[in-house]
A and B are shown apart, each in its own frame.
Chain A
Amino acid sequence: MEFSVSKADLVRELTLSQGVVEKRTTIPILSNVLLEATEDRLLLTATDLELGIRTVCPARVKRPGAGTIPARKLLDYVRLLPDAELHVRFAENQWASLVCGRSRTRIAGMSRDSFPELPPMPEPLAELPAWVLSSMIAKTIYAISTEESRFTLSGALLIFREGAAAMVSTDGHRLALVEQREGLAELRAHYRALIPRKAMAEILKLAQEAGPEATVQFSGDENHLFFRFGERLLISRKLAGNFPDFERVLPREHPRSLLLDREEARAAIERVSQFSDERSHAIRLRLAAGELRMHSSLSDTGESEESLPVEYDGGDFEIGFNAHYLLDFLRVLDEQRVWLHFKDAQSAGELRPAGEDAGYTYRYIVMPMKI
């Protein structure tokens, strides 16, 4: 195999595949990127067996063929080269020679024969704006469980319906649900699947790289999910198991509601949480007529209180929360104002953006702390 590519093109595509390359090298070939030169392009493939990515960059191919090179080493080196054309040639013994200007390097590669085969993408089930998918991910990814024991919570549930899509995530303490209609009038697919967290993180990168006008084609087979952004394809294993029946835990009534300025609330909670317990991040919210007080105390360190004026006359009320849970939501919100809804100190509270936007619904359900 022998080809030439632009250094900038190669760095861009290699960077996109880095998140997929296996970091722990239990199977050495998985640390490598598969390079395949055909006609006028170079295909790059990386996988950790859970996730696979295939990207393309234009190339002048002198001799078609395939080979693999350690992905990290290749990127680290190529990134340091001047912006010029890079010439790559694979020898019979799997060593790759790289020549760029006056720089010459040889890197030990491995045969493509032992590189895992990625499944082919079936006919697309749906096509939607890439920003819709990445917006749904950004609004749910933070609530995914990081506990290994809660396997079915280590991803988000993706639902496609007639003209709408939804994404739900939970870690057992809180739940984020976003339902999107805007931009999905054409959607006809009916589909449900669990996307692993790592795949969601890669989709965010691919959508960003693809730009605001791009679309994503979606498909699935028995075990895999496919997301195609132009010529770039992300393949993820489906998470097996059943996602909890989330509709059962959505609150139905809110006797107490108040409207807050997002930035004011965020800044106040950030300050108060400096004096909350390092592990639980517990803070107290005290509601009284016209005022929301937030309070934290740490026995040997100090205490802190914030007061926000609010429109509220639902009676005195106190509830505890993990400050980080509240901040996670306030930090991803686009809207200027946010609704807080409570029932009592033992029941889930709900946060929602305020606004007349009918294009999407965003609900964030958080269980309180008893402190």
Chain B
Amino acid sequence: MSDARVVFHVDMDAFFVSVEELLDPSLKGKAVIVGGRPDQRGVVSAASYEARKFGVHSAMPLRTAYRLCPHAIFLEGRPRLYRRYSQKVYEVLCAFSPRVEMASVDEAYLDMTGTERLHGPPLRAAHLLHEAVRERTGLNCSIGIAASRLVAKVASDQAKPNGILWVLPGCEARWLGPLEVRKIPGVGRVTEQRLHALGIHKVGDLARFDEAFLEAHFGKWGLALAGKARGEDAGAWFDGEIGVAELPKSVGHEHTFDEDTTDQEKLEATLARLAEMVGRRLREHGLYARTVQLKLRDHCFRTITRTRRLDHATQIDMELIACGRDLFRRNWDGAPVRLLGLQASSLAPHPGQLDLLGAERARKWRQALSAADQVRDRFGEDAVSLAAGLRGSFRERVHETPVALPGKQPNGGKT
């Protein structure tokens, strides 16, 4: 028992809404929806508990939210502000464990193994942590405690709002059993339907099937699913150690236009802006990309992706822009565009083969970009941008995972 891991999953309650309430207490107790104006294209980033009573939840289209809850107060959302509060939370958490990892702007994992002498048994430590977050940030959170990241995450969800739940080691399968299968992280709507079709509704149902059966139906994922049903950190990044980053497989950004557009200049400017954001993240992670992918969705919801392999790996915005723009020009048929996306993949922590002809220009770009990144670190993402992307500047959506989450060391544990 004593050698079991102790993992905390700290999840901020209605984070964006709570931050807005801190700054404008008159919002308290009201239906508040963060994400944009109700007539805008886009989705709900966060909803207050009051709004949730009407069936509003995050990732729901704003227009649907408006239909369900017309009296709600709709807010645009302020990503920079939320990030600042996220940083405050992170600082509090760091006082409790050396191994803290922000999984997104409003949730974190803490490896609390071996901290008993410092903070007391898990429930007491969680209570202290809960108090400290509340005191230092004015925000409520919920905490799940378990021997694995997966169960800790499910537990924090069950503890909401403003609660603490500890799933004792050895009790995972029994505790997970009566829960709906979609409570398992990674089970989305599609998987849920396929599971329902097999007569699997509760996590406990899943545990009754043997692994071979699940693997036959769901491939490798099926094996992970079986493990998850037992409460193990099986599959994807749940396997990883807290605070040790795995190299991302790809880095991408996309943008949905408020109105479908055929304005080529605007489209290419947007693409430039997306490339800039991708380049910024590549440099944050210390990664070089060899492959660039363009995603294009038109007004009829036809989506195409087109990929090109670069002849050398890069993290320079201009090279990403040039490639993205070329892919766009070759593949856009002139139909009104709804969404543009740009993704960089084939990532490596080293540039590999260096370029001979462009070496001097690349060196100058690297210097300019590193200066620009320093300005952004201090004054925010919009402080500097390429002229090419100016017409394409758009408000960053608040549900986007911010550039760099604290607690992960780039290339940590490797090389």
A residues touching B (Cβ–Cβ < 8 Å)?
A: 145, 147, 149-150, 170-175, 244, 248-249, 280, 282, 322, 346, 348, 365-371
Contacts A172-B357, A249-B357 given; does A371 touch B312 at CB 8 Å: no
Judging by beta carbons under 8 Å apart, are A173 and B350 in contact?
Answer: no
Say whether B351 contacts A370, CB under 8 Å: yes
Is A280's CB under 8 angstroms from B357's CB? Answer: no
B355-370: CB near A (< 8 Å → 1, else 0) gives 1111110000000000
Q: How far is the CB of B243 from chain A (nearest CB, A)?
A: 24
If the complex has contacts A147-B311, A150-B311, are A172 and B352 also in contact, measured as CB distance less than 8 A?
no
B353 within 8 A of A: yes
Query: Of B352, B358, B359, which one neighbours A371 at CB under 8 angstroms?
Result: B352
Residues of B in contact, count (CB < 8 Å):
13
Out of A145, A149, A282, A367, name the residue touching B355 (CB < 8 Å). Answer: A367
B352 adjacent to A280 (CB under 8 Å): yes
- Chain B's nearest CB lies how many Å from the CB of A146? 10
Closest 10 CB pairs of A and B: A367-B354, A367-B356, A370-B351, A370-B350, A369-B353, A244-B357, A172-B357, A147-B311, A371-B350, A173-B353
Option from B312, B354, B358 in Cβ contact (under 8 Å) with A346: B354
CA gap between A171 and B357 in the complex, in Å: 9
Residues of B within 8 A of A171 (CB): 311
* Known contacts A150-B311, A172-B311, A173-B312: A249-B356 contact under CB 8 Å: yes
Contacts of B351 in A (CB 8 A): 370
Chain B residue nearest in CB terms to A366: B356
Task: Kindly identify which residue among A145, A150, A173 contacts B354, using a CB–CB cutoff of 8 Å.
Answer: A173
Whole-angstrom distance between the Cβ of B208 and the nearest chain A Cβ:
38
Determine the distance from Cα of A348 to Cα of B363 in the docked complex, in whole angstroms.
14
A371 to B169, CA, bound (A): 44
A170 to B358, CA, bound (A): 12
Q: How far, in angstroms, from A230 to B256 measured CA to CA in the complex?
A: 66
- CB of B289 to closest CB in A, whole Å: 15
> CB distance A368 to B357 under 8 Å?
no
Which of chain A's residues have a CB closer than 8 A to the CB of B358? 172
Q: How far is the CA of A145 from the CA of B354 in the complex (A)?
A: 15
Whether B352 and A170, one on each chain, are in contact in the complex, defined by CB atoms closer than 8 angstroms, is: no
CB distance from A314 to the nearest CB of B (A): 21
Are A369 and B354 in contact, with the CB atoms below 8 A? yes
Closest to A325 in B: B353
Contact A322 B357 (CB under 8 A): no
| In the bound complex, CA of A121 to CA of B354 (Å) | 42
* Partner of B357 from A170, A366, A369 at Cβ < 8 Å: A170
Cα of A268 to Cα of B353 in the assembled complex, Å: 21
Inside 8 A of A149's CB, which chain B residues have their CB? Answer: 311
Q: How far is the CA of A147 from the CA of B355 in the complex (A)?
A: 14
Which residue, of B312, B353, B356, has the highest number of chain A Cβ atoms within 10 A?
B353
Closest chain A residue to B309 by CB distance? A147
Q: A248 contacts which chain B residues (CB < 8 A)?
A: 360
The reply to whether A172 and B354 contact each other, CB–CB distance below 8 Å, is no
Would you list 17 pairs from A and B whose C-beta atoms are within 8 A, ordered by A residue? A147-B311, A149-B311, A172-B355, A172-B358, A173-B355, A174-B356, A249-B359, A322-B353, A346-B354, A348-B356, A365-B356, A366-B356, A367-B355, A367-B356, A369-B350, A369-B353, A370-B351
0/1 interface trace, chain B 303-331, chain A, CB 8 Å (1 if under): 00000000110000000000000000000
Question: Which residues of the partner chain A approach B312 to less than 8 Å between Cβ atoms?
Answer: 172-173
The answer on a CB contact under 8 Å between B356 and A369 is no
A348 to chain B, nearest CB (A): 6
List the A side residues contacting B360 at CB < 8 Å. Answer: 248
Nearest CB to that of A174 among chain B residues?
B356
Give every chain A residue within 8 A of B357 (Cβ-Cβ): 170, 172, 244, 249
Q: Give Cα distance in the complex from A171 to B358, angstroms.
A: 11
The residue in A145, A149, A365, A370 that gathers the most chain B C-beta atoms within 10 A of its C-beta is A370
On whether the beta carbons of B354 and A368 are closer than 8 Å, the reply is: yes
Closest to B326 in A: A149
Shortest C-beta distance, B313 to chain A (Å), equals 9
Name the residue on B nearest A244 (C-beta).
B357
CA A348 to CA B358, docked complex, whole Å: 12
Complex-state Cα separation, A62 to B132, whole angstroms: 107
Q: Which residues of B contact A369 (CB under 8 A)?
A: 350, 352-354
Distance in angstroms between the alpha carbons of A257 and B352 in the assembled complex: 23
What is the bound-complex CA distance between A293 and B357, given in angstroms? Answer: 28
In the complex, residue of chain B having the shortest beta-carbon distance to the beta carbon of A246: B357
Bound: A150/B352 CA distance, A: 19
Q: How far is the CA of A171 from the CA of B312 in the complex (A)?
A: 11
Residue of A nearest to B311 (CB): A147
Q: With A and B bound together, what is the CA distance between A322 and B356 in angstroms?
A: 13
Q: Is the pair B352, A282 in contact by a Cβ cutoff of 8 Å?
A: yes
A367 touches B350 (CB 8 A): no
CA of A150 to CA of B358, assembled, Å: 13
Question: Which residues of B63-82 have CB atoms within 8 Å of chain A's CB atoms?
Answer: none
* From A147, A175, A371, contact of B356 by CB (8 A): A175
Residue with the greatest number of chain A CB neighbours at <10 A, chosen from B312, B351, B356, B360: B356
Minimum Cβ distance to chain A for residue B13 (Å): 44
Smallest beta-carbon distance B352→chain A, Å: 5
Query: In the complex the two chains form, what is the Cα distance from A370 to B353 in whole Å?
Result: 6
A172 touches B356 (CB 8 A): yes
